[in-house]
Each structure stands twice: as structure tokens, then as C-alpha cells.
Amino acid sequence: MPELPHSTWSGAAPGSWLARWLSACADLEDLFAHHHLLDAVIEEVDGRRIRVGGRWLIDFASCNYLGLDLDREVIEAVPAYLDRWGTHPSWSRMLGSPALYPEIEARLTELLGSADSLLLQTLTHIHASVIPVLASDGTIFVDSRAHKTIWDGCVAARAHGATVVRYAHDDPEALERLVRRYPKVPRLVCMDGINSMTGNPPQLGAFAALAREHDALLYVDDAHGFGVIGERDRSETSPYGRRGNGVVRHLGQSYDHVVLTGGFSKAYSSLLAFVACAPELKRLLKVVAPPYLYSGPSPVASLATALVGLQVNQARGDELRAVLWQRTRRVLDHLEKLGAYTLNRSGFPIVEVPLADPDDLARAGRFLLERGIYVTLAFYPGVPRDEVGFRIQVTAANTDDEVSALLEALERLADAVPLRAAA
């Protein structure tokens, strides 16, 4: 395999700002330099296998949970949209939106059961622009394990006059103590839906009750839940529930005092994201959110894959979720058999596996790579030191044979590089 090019940052004098950044990110820089699971160039894709250099790997790092990136119905539908709309609208939404936008928003609003919804390009754009609006010069309470893009939105809000307070991960009591201590309104509580590293849902019922009691707004990022989990009922094909309409519906909550954000860039394999909110907030965001006013829109291919993806979801999404659940279950059962710890308590398809010794990360990654397995390395400071390890993501497009290959590799890995033991 060819060596990846590596920047040496040779101009970073000791004590300079560059040297300080470099030292804060030393673990990651080292992995970039020596590890082919990071910063890789993927040269070919065949189903859920990818070629990096001369090596074919089974991909367990993809977030395309429903496998719609490879779905023939979705792929074959796209050219007709390109013929009709061209490749890219290139107006900001303020100027005009192809009719695809209101069509997707109407379908999405119906699916979520929200009052309304607004599409923007990505969750990164949404957090950076919507959090400062909602927080104004009040107080933001942010979960200590919220996604980095939420934190960045909070930093932008702080620059606009908001106070930012961090509370212990998924701890409603800790939040309540802080809400009493920081009275400045408006109050915004920011958190992940399905957490991107643990794979677990928050105690949404308790947080929503707190939000209603203290007239706060709960702002939830369900990048990883939307499309994967949904409302529960007897006809469900798996414990993920039906319709993939996200964490709020899955946990039987309402949208009272809740703003749900989510993305199409994971389960729906498209560059698009949404805010599910009241119509008045949608009207406000159209005149104050810079990505609506000043940024380019999503490409037509993304709008098309989102729209067709929603149709596929309606027709056979629950079948795909049943497959996803079965394959994920195999991974979780196998880890249990090996006595290995995972942060995942939910059964959802994000499975982080910490190592016994964080310094073994590069070795564990190389071991999996040599056995043809591609996973996400969970490095410090991206995760706490005692959670350094790797994250497996399962998609409906991973075959049973591919999962078997993963299980065998995990078994051998556990002999060669100690995994953190289950309690």
C-alpha cells in the first residue's frame, strides 16, 4: 500500500500557536501519518466494499444506514431530475427554491409529525446559524458529549451575547441544578438525539419535561436516529420501530418545546438537513438564517436522492431497518460472547469498542486493516482516553457474509490486542 503523504509542519517553532495546536492534536496527527484507516483515498466502491490503494476492505465506517447510496431505485431515478433541473440550482433559497424543496418539506413534515420543517444544506450550517438565533442573549445549556458542530454553534451564539453552560452528559438532574443557577432567558438546551459515539438515545422524556417546566427550548440533533429509528407499534419489523421518523417519535414524545434537527447525509445518503419547528420559527429563520439567505443550496442530485429516498422509505424502509437491526444484533451478541465492552446499550447500529490500553489504537487499526476491515478509529481527544478504540457502523447494505468476516476479525483481534472487558 502506498504511503499517505504527511505534512510535517516543520515551520512550527516551539511555543508558537502552531506548535500548541499540533501538540493538542498530536495523537491524531500521528495516526494520520502512520495509519491507512484515516485520511484514506478511496479509489473504488463495490457494494459495501471499498478499495484503498491495492487493498479491498469491507466498509464498517459508512453512515449510509439504509444502504440508499447503493439502491438501484434511487440511483436510476436521479438522471431524470438532472435533465429537468440541471445539476445545481445555484440560487440561495432566499431568491428561489426548485419545487423539489417544498415537496420534500411537505413529505418530511408529514413523516415527522412536526408542525413544519425547513431544509438547509447541512447540520453544520444549521447549528452555526440556528443556535445563535434561538439562544439570542440568553443561556445555552449544552450536553458535555454533544456533537462538535453543536458546540461550534454555541460558540457562535456566545459571540452574539449568549452565555454557554455545559452540563454532565445525559443528566437531567445536573441540568436542572444549572437551570436554577443561570436564570437568563431565553433558555436553550442542546443535545444529540442518538449519540454519534455511544449509539444511545438521551433521556428525552425527562429533558422535555424540564424544558416545559422552565420554559426552555430543547434543541436535538438526530443525525444518527433519523431514518433508523421511529414510532413504536405492534406492526414494527424490529425494535427500531416504524417509518424511521426519529428519536422524538421513537421515544413517544411530542414536539412541545422541542426543536428537532436532523440530516439526510447519513440514512438518506444525501447532502441535505432539516429543522423541524413551528411555522413562526420557520418564517423567522427564512429572514435571519444566513445559509437560507446567502449560501448556495444542495445539489439537485441530493434533492432527488432525498425525495426518492423518502418514497423508498415509505415503501420498504421497515424491511431495510429489520435487516439493519439483525446485522447489528449479530455484532453486539458477538462482542458479548467475547466479553468485550461496548458503549452501545441501545441496539442501534453505532457500536464503539474501547481498547484495554488506549496506546494500542494504531496497532488495533492495523490489525483490522490487514484483515480487510475498515472501521472508524475513535482517538483522543475526539473521545475520552478510556474510550479510545474503534467504532463499527452497520448498514443495511452490509451482507451477512461481511458481518461474519467482521466477527471473525474481532475474535482474532481480541486475542492479539486486549479489548476493554465488559463489567
Ligand X SMILES: Cc1ncc(COP(=O)(O)O)c(C=O)c1O
Residues that bind ligand X (CB under 6 A): 122-124, 147, 149, 192, 196, 221, 223-224, 263, 265, 273
For residue 13, the minimal CB distance to ligand X (Å) is 34
For residue 293, the minimal CB distance to ligand X (Å) is 18
For residue 125, the minimal CB distance to ligand X (Å) is 7
Question: Which residue's CB is nearer to ligand X, number 52 or number 273?
Answer: 273
For residue 130, the minimal CB distance to ligand X (Å) is 12
DSSP 86: -
Q: If we measure between CA atoms, which residue out of 301, 207, 226, 212 comes closest to residue 264?
A: 226
For residue 33, the minimal CB distance to ligand X (Å) is 23
Question: Which residue's CB is nearer to ligand X, number 118 or number 223?
Answer: 223
Residue 194 and residue 345 in contact, taking contact as beta carbons nearer than 8 Å: no
Give me 66's grid cell.
Answer: 439504509
Residue 274 and residue 120 in contact, taking contact as beta carbons nearer than 8 Å: yes
Question: Which residue's CB is nearer to ligand X, number 167 or number 274?
Answer: 274
Question: Which residue's CB is nearer to ligand X, number 265 or number 313?
Answer: 265
Question: Which residue's CB is nearer to ligand X, number 129 or number 196?
Answer: 196
Alpha carbon distances (Å) from 376 to 42, 181, 248, 267, 373: 14, 39, 27, 17, 10
Residue 244 and residue 227 in contact, taking contact as beta carbons nearer than 8 Å: yes
Question: Which residue's CB is nearer to ligand X, number 119 or number 300?
Answer: 119
Complete DSSP assignment for 318-383: HHHHHHHHHHHHHHHHHHHHHTB--S--S-SSEEEEEBSSGGGHHHHHHHHHHTTEE-EEE-TTTS
For residue 119, the minimal CB distance to ligand X (Å) is 11
Question: Which residue's CB is nearer to ligand X, number 191 or number 417?
Answer: 191
Cell numbers 463495490 label which residue? 46
Cα angle for residues 107, 327, 145 (degrees, 5° grid): 70
Alpha carbon distances (Å) from 342 to 188, 242, 336, 353, 359: 31, 26, 9, 5, 18
Q: Peptide bond before 186: cis, by omega within 30 degrees of 0?
A: yes
Question: Which residue's CB is nearer to ligand X, number 265 or number 342?
Answer: 265
For residue 401, the minimal CB distance to ligand X (Å) is 28
For residue 251, the minimal CB distance to ligand X (Å) is 17
Alpha-carbon distance 129 to 291, whole Å? 7
Q: How many residues does the chain have?
A: 423
